[in-house]
Structures are given as structure tokens and as C-alpha cells.
């Protein structure tokens, strides 16, 4: 090995050194670049078989896209540069007449899905959407309220994300640890003291709707605004299965297209007020997006068209499956949050797995049985328990798209409980999971 390559962590690189060393070893020892390239392709193929065909993916922020959307992600247009706004005069480069068609279809379809006056298609991630909101609706030193991580709040709305980068003073939205919703009385008190310019609602862990109308009446007293980070619920909102934030007092909404919406991973942003349009547009371009991946825009437009046709039925089944899976786990003596109020109104089911060793241990054990979930902070954990939280988050997006319904949720609950309680070896459960999953290989709620 080249002596200039550091093998210890002295260089402060954040990544796992063992895994990086595995890669260095391959790069050093293959006899040609072509063989190195083949290692990459092989890893992609291994993932496609394992995650794509043999696993039960219960990750709440993950969705399989339709075959058409996946094909568009590899299309020729993805090699073209198209900075600027749609139309012949506001682009930097010429040659964009068909790209204008793709992008205008995308914008108009997004407006239709989310019943909004404005939408933008250029955000490569929802994180960039949240940065757009803070850059265009706040100034450094402003006060905001957002949800802390143990209640599902996302880093993008806290000190370690865009809200922090913008130099905002961030106060917690008071949450009720039993009801798992905003504690509106405490909120009124804190908000009237702090008088935030912006209240950020929406979370990575969301089981129940937010009291948007009540909050909106309170912040109206000093002209405060509500921003809804709908990263997770975007599809449920578009499909009419969750509250409609823009209609209930939020002035702007962002979301991840690759979560419940089931499009290509990227961000969307929608709003209604013409007075916000200039600052939002100026922030997106030229501040946060230049070449914005037109292949992704084409895929997003295609998924929005698909969503208008199948979204309502698909999102309904996602929520029905989440309720059924939560009930099945609860009946098998697993601690499921929100059990006194029907478990969930979204695609998520949240378990307290402290007695099984905590979220990390349980998620790793389930992975060995080909069941993919994620460790999660839950109320009662501290934000710094991030690596070793007590909870586990489960979502029903992918299993629903593969055609599973309520009856299959009982079978999945049995697999999960078998792993948690060590009723049989993980090897034997993995074999049964692969066999079960083999019958579900086709994407539903899309065109062939």
C-alpha cells in the first residue's frame, strides 16, 4: 500500500476507516481500471438483488419508483445543462426548447397535485428546500420555533442544519409526550413570549396531524408565519390522506419527492402568496441551484402524472397497512406508540424497543433477517442519544407499492416478533422472508 495513504483516523475523516480501507485495497490490487469499474457495477447489482428483491423494506423515508420513473433517471437529458428559469430568454444556455417542455410540465403537474398557485422543480433535495425557506422568509437573528429531534424534528430545522446556518434563534415547539402532538396551551405561552417570525411544523416522525389552524390564529397576533416541512407526508397530503397544510394556515410547504410521494429522490416546494414568489425564486436560482438534473425533473414530472392517476388509492392503502401493522405488533405485546389513539394516521409505526436492547441493536438484528428499518429517537430520549436511541421507526410505503394489503401485515408482524424474541435463528427467518418476498416483485399504482 502507498505510504502516503493514511490508514488510521489521524486525518479526521468521518467515514468508517475499515470500509474505506476495503476500497483502497481493491483500487491497489485490481490489475486494471476496468476491473475496478466492475467492482462498482457488481456492488450495484448485489444491492439490486438484496434490497430490490429479497428484503422487506420497512424504511419510512424510502419508496420504490415505477419502472418509467427509473428509466427516465437514466435518460440522455440528464447530461444537459439548463441553468435558470423556464423559457427562451431566462436561460444561460441555448438548446433547451425540449427541456422547457419537460420542466413546464413538471411545474404545472406539481401545482395540480398540491393545489397550489406556485411550485418549483429545481431542488435536488428537500434540505435545499428548507434552506430556501429560511433564506427567503427569515433574516439572521430572527426567532423560530421548531420540533426537537426526540419528537421527530429534523436537523434541517435545528441548529445543525439550514436553520442554524441562517443564524436563527431556535426554540422548541412544545410537544405532548403522551398524545404525540403539539401541546397547544404550552405553545401559546412560549410563542407569545418569543414571537417567532416563523413556526416550522412537520417532522420525520409523525403519527398524527398538527393543530395548524389553532397555531395560525396564535401567530397571526404578531404577523408570524407557518412553514410546513412535509418531507415525509408529501404523498399523503397530495393524495388527500393527511391534513392540507397550505389550506390550514401554512404559507409554504417543502417535501421530499422520494418519500411517500414515491418519485425520484429530490425536493419540492409549493406556496400560494405572490408576494413570496420573488424572494423564493431568487433563492433557488442563482443561490442554491444551477444545473438541476433535468433527468430528475423528467422523472419527477412522470411521477406526478402517475400520482394524479393512482395517488389517492395508493396513499389510502399505505395508511391502512400502517394501522394494520401497528395493531398486529401491539397484539403481539410489542410497545407501539399512540396505541390509545389508533396508533397512526400516517405511513409510520413507532416502536419502543428498549426492552429488546434499543433501536440500534434491534435494527441490526432485523437487517440480518432481511427486514430493513431504522433506529429512532422517541420521547424520553435525549437528542444526544442519537446513536443509541430507544425507538424503532417502520414505514409501509414500499410493501404497499409491492401490492401487500392488511392480511400481509400479520405475516410481517410475526417475522419481526420472531426476531425480537429470538424464537428462531435469524438465518431461518431470513430464508422465510426471502421466500415470502419472492411473490411480491411488481410495482403497483403505476402504468406498465
Ligand X SMILES: *Cc1c(COP(=O)(O)O)cnc(C)c1O
User: What is the contact surface with ligand X in residues (CB under 6 A)?
Assistant: 61, 125-127, 130, 154, 156, 202-204, 229, 231-232, 256, 267
Beta strands 374-376 and 118-120 are unpaired
- Which of residues 191 and 231 has its CB atom nearest to ligand X in the complex? 231
- Which of residues 61 and 249 has its CB atom nearest to ligand X in the complex? 61
Largest CA distance in the chain: 70
The DSSP secondary structure of 149-182, one letter per residue, reads: GGGT--GGGSTTSHHHHTT-EEEEPPEETTTTEE
State the cell numbers at 185.
396551551
Judge whether 219 and 226 are in contact, CB under 8 Å. yes
Report the DSSP beta bridge partners of residue 57: 372
The DSSP secondary structure of 345-358, one letter per residue, reads: SSSEEEEE-GGGT-
CB of 267 to ligand X, least distance (A): 5
Can you tell me the distance from the alpha carbon of 93 to that of 74, in angstroms, rounded to the nearest whole number? 22
CB of 126 to ligand X, least distance (A): 3
CB of 48 to ligand X, least distance (A): 21
CB of 266 to ligand X, least distance (A): 7
- Which of residues 37 and 291 has its CB atom nearest to ligand X in the complex? 291
- Which of residues 21 and 291 has its CB atom nearest to ligand X in the complex? 291
Report the DSSP beta bridge partners of residue 120: 269
Judge whether 169 and 141 are in contact, CB under 8 Å. yes
CB of 245 to ligand X, least distance (A): 13
- Which of residues 162 and 413 has its CB atom nearest to ligand X in the complex? 162
CB of 120 to ligand X, least distance (A): 14
- Which of residues 203 and 420 has its CB atom nearest to ligand X in the complex? 203
Residue carrying the nine cell digits 407501539? 336
Beta strands 252-256 and 225-229 are parallel
CB of 234 to ligand X, least distance (A): 10
The residue among 213, 143, 207 whose CA lies nearest residue 180 is: 207
Judge whether 73 and 299 are in contact, CB under 8 Å. yes
- Which of residues 96 and 136 has its CB atom nearest to ligand X in the complex? 136
Runs of H (alpha helix) within 247-293: 274-282
Judge whether 148 and 383 are in contact, CB under 8 Å. yes
The H or E element that residue 199 is part of is strand 198-201
CB of 169 to ligand X, least distance (A): 20
Runs of H (alpha helix) within 67-179: 67-73, 97-114, 126-137, 162-165
CB of 295 to ligand X, least distance (A): 17
Can you tell me the distance from the alpha carbon of 336 to that of 175, in angstroms, rounded to the nearest whole number? 18
SS3 state of residue 201? strand
CB of 128 to ligand X, least distance (A): 7
Amino acid at each position: 500500500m502507498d505510504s502516503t495513504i493514511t490508514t488510521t483516523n489521524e486525518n479526521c475523516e468521518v467515514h468508517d476507516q475499515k470500509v474505506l480501507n476495503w476500497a483502497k485495497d481493491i483500487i491497489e490490487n485490481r490489475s486494471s481500471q476496468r476491473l475496478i469499474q466492475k467492482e462498482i457495477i457488481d456492488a450495484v447489482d448485489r444491492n439490486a438483488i438484496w434490497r430490490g428483491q429479497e428484503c422487506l423494506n420497512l424504511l419510512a423515508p424510502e419508496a420504490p419508483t415505477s419502472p418509467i420513473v427509473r428509466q427516465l433517471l437514466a435518460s440522455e437529458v440528464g447530461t444537459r445543462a439548463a441553468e435558470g428559469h423556464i423559457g427562451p430568454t431566462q436561460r444561460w444556455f441555448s438548446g433547451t426548447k425540449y427541456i422547457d417542455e419537460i420542466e413546464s410540465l413538471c411545474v404545472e403537474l406539481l401545482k395540480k397535485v398540491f393545489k397550489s398557485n406556485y411550485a418549483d422543480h429545481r431542488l435536488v433535495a428537500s434540505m435545499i428546500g428548507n434552506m430556501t425557506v429560511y433564506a427567503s422568509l427569515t433574516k439572521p437573528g430572527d426567532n423560530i420555533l421548531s420540533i426537537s429531534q426526540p419528537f421527530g424534528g429534523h436537523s434541517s430545522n435545528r441548529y445543525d442544519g439550514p436553520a442554524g446556518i441562517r443564524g436563527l434563534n431556535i426554540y422548541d415547539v412544545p410537544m405532548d409526550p403522551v398524545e404525540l402532538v403539539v401541546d397547544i396551551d404550552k405553545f401559546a405561552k412560549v410563542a407569545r413570549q418569543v414571537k417567532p417570525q416563523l413556526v416550522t411544523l412537520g417532522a420525520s416522525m409523525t403519527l398524527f396531524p398538527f393543530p395548524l389552524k389553532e397555531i395560525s390564529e396564535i401567530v397571526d397576533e404578531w404577523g408570524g408565519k407557518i412553514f410546513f416541512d412535509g418531507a415525509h407526508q408529501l404523498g399523503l397530503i397530495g393524495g388527500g390522506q393527511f391534513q392540507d397544510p397550505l389550506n390550514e394556515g401554512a404559507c409554504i410547504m417543502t417535501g421530499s419527492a422520494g418519500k411517500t410521494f414515491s418519485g425520484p429522490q429530490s425536493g419540492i416546494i409549493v406556496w400560494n402568496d405572490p408576494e413570496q414568489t420573488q424572494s423564493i425564486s431568487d433563492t433557488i436560482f442563482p443561490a442554491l441551484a444551477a444545473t438541476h438534473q433535468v433527468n430528475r425533473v423528467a422523472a419527477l414530472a412522470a411521477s406526478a402524472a402517475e400520482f394524479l392517476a393512482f395517488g389517492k388509492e395508493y396513499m389510502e392503502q399505505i395508511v391502512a397497512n400502517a394501522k394494520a401493522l401497528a395493531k398486529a405488533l401491539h397484539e403481539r405485546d410489542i410497545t407501539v406508540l399512540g396505541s390509545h389513539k389508533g396508533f397512526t394516521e400516517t405511513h409510520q409505526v413507532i416502536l419502543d424497543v428498549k426492552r429488546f436492547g434499543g433501536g440500534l441493536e434491534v435494527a441490526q438484528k432485523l437487517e440480518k433477517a432481511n427486514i430493513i428499518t431504522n433506529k429512532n429517537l422517541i420521547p424520553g430520549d435525549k437528542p444526544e442519544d442519537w446513536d443509541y436511541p430507544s425507538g424503532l421507526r417502520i414505514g409501509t410505503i414500499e410493501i404497499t407499492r409491492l401490492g401487500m394489503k392488511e392480511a400481509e401485515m400479520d405475516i410481517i408482524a410475526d417475522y419481526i416478533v420472531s426476531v425480537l424474541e429470538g424464537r428462531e435463528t435469524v438465518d431461518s427467518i431470513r430464508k422465510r422472508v426471502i421466500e415470502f418476498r419472492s411473490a411480491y416483485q411488481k410495482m403497483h399504482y403505476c402504468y406498465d
